[in-house]
Structure formats: C-alpha cells, structure tokens
Amino acid sequence: MTVDWTEIEIKETVADYFAMLVDDIAGRSYNKAEHNRALHAAIGRSRGSIEFKHRNISAVLKLLGQPVVTGYLPAWNYQEALVDAVRHWLDSNPDWMPIPQWRTANSVAEDGAEIGNGAVLPDAPQLWFGPPPSQLNEPPPLDPAIIAELGKRYDVAERDARNRALGTAGEELVLDFERTNLMAAGRNDLARKVRWTSREDGDGFGYDISSYELDGRTRLLEIKTTNGWERTPFHISRNECRVAESRREEWHLVRLYDFARKPRAFTLRPPLEAHLNLAPTSFLAQLR
C-alpha cells in the first residue's frame, strides 16, 4: 500500500530539489546521487521514490512557469500537497533566481560606444530561434479541473507580467539580437535606427522594439519573457492585439523562454487566433 508523503517529507524534498536547481541554473557542479542519498538518510524514503518525487516537482514547476532540474523529466501524477509546498517555497524565496544581466550591445552604446563604430560586441548569449511548439510536444493530458484550480491560486502569466526586471532584460536581449544581425549583414545604417520603443517612447504602442528587415522594411516586435518552458502562458493586452491585427505585415510576437538558463525564442505572426487561445482574464468595472 502506497502511503502519501508527510508534510515534512515533502518540505525536505522540495528544498533539496531547489538546492540542485539553483546550482543547475548557475552552471555549478552537483551530484544528484549524493543529494538522493542524503535525503534518503533524512526522511527514510527509498531512493527510487525520492527520484520520482523529484520528477513530480518538475511537473509542478512546469505548470507554474518555472525552470526545472536538467534530467528530471516531469511525472504528472503528483500528490496535490506537493503543489502547495512548491508554491510556499517560491513565495518564501522570491529572489531565489537572479535575473541575468547580459552585457549587450545596447549597454555598450549607453556606455558611450556608438553602434556600428567597430566596437567589440559584448558577451551576450547567442539567442536561438526555433519553431513554435506544436500539438505533438504537449504534456500528457491533465485533469482540467486541477489546471483551472492551479490557475486561480497561482497566476503564472500575471507573475511574469509583473516582473518588470525580467521583461526589461528580455527586451534588451532581443534589441541586441536585432542590432547584431543587422550589423553582421552590413546594415549598420539600420542597426543605428533600431529603437527600444517601450523604453524610449512609452509602453503604449502595442510593441516593444521597432527594428528592420535587411531590405529596410519595418519590424515591430512585442517581447514576452519567461523563465519557464515554451508553453508557459502569458498576458497580451487588448492594444497589442489591436496593433497586431492592424499592422499584420510588420508585427511579430517574440516569445522568450528558459531565460535564466539559456534563452531561446520563437516568433508568432498575426492572426494571433491561429496560434493562441485568447481568454479574457479581467474586466473594467464602472458604476451604472
């Protein structure tokens, strides 16, 4: 007979998982087997049971829009108490994962170096763009009621949206990517004109960056950044949807994910309804 894990056992296992995750994201060496042995000695659970619980934690973190330990593939049939324990750890450690401060071409420019004047490009990671996720790589089906309840208690998209430092860092990385690509193609004239619209002009234009194709056509980029996986939900405003529709040929949604570890991205083009399930999440209420 399988006995549910106790609150203490879950708490110890969650803390152990995050200890590994912090090292994993930072690129520091750690030994999963040693962690497993130490946890086995502390709580008495079998090593196989501990490893499976770690995989359960990966599943919960995926749903909460957080990175996971490399190699611990999500196991979706998790104990409900595990969700509360992971949420409690995250709420108690809000600064557990520092946002990378990439030294980008933009930061070089702000230090006084003109874009395209022969200055050495900064040490920003190469941003990898891939195809949008397809239906084929979705996680195994979960009880919709569980997903809905989790969404009520922990709004993943809202947390990302409120994290201004994360959003700013994502925008700056894409800004660097745009300028670097134009410079590499010999279009320094266009690289100089790339504009960080949301920072320089205000956050109401329906896009964050105004860039260019190599032939000089305008590219309007709206950046959505998360530390989670590629299917982490995100918020998009009514104004962004309106601009996407009215400027279809120019507008691009750039989804950045796994930002803290190794930023990757994909692009969505209007019409957005072809790619996204758009659900209203709030209403403006006024007295009659």
State residue 113's pLDDT score. 45
Digit-by-digit pLDDT tens for the chain (288 residues) are 567 899 999 999 999 999 999 999 988 999 999 999 999 999 999 999 999 999 999 999 988 889 999 999 999 888 889 999 999 999 999 888 887 766 565 554 554 444 444 433 335 567 889 999 875 555 545 555 565 566 666 777 777 777 888 999 999 999 999 999 999 999 999 999 999 999 999 989 999 999 999 999 999 999 999 998 888 888 899 999 999 999 999 999 999 999 988 899 999 999 999 888 887 777 767 788
State residue 29's pLDDT score. 96
Residues 208, 212, 216: CA angle, nearest 5 degrees: 150
- Among residues 138, 5, 26, 141, the alpha carbon closest in space to that of 83 is found at 5
SS3 266: strand
State residue 139's pLDDT score. 54
State residue 36's pLDDT score. 97
State residue 95's pLDDT score. 86
202: alpha, beta or left, given left = phi > 0 and alpha = psi -120 to 50?
Answer: left
State residue 232's pLDDT score. 86
Domain ranges of the chain: 7-92, 105-273
For residue 271, say if its preceding peptide bond is cis, omega within 30 degrees of 0: yes
| 3-state SS record for 24-67 | HHHCCCCCHHHHHHHHHHHHCCCHHHHHHHHHHHHHHHHHCCCC
Count Cβ neighbours within 10 Å for each residue of 82-114 and write b for 16 or more, e otherwise: bbebbbebbeeeeeebebbebebbbebbeeeee
Between CA 261 and CA 251 the distance in angstroms is 27
State residue 100's pLDDT score. 73
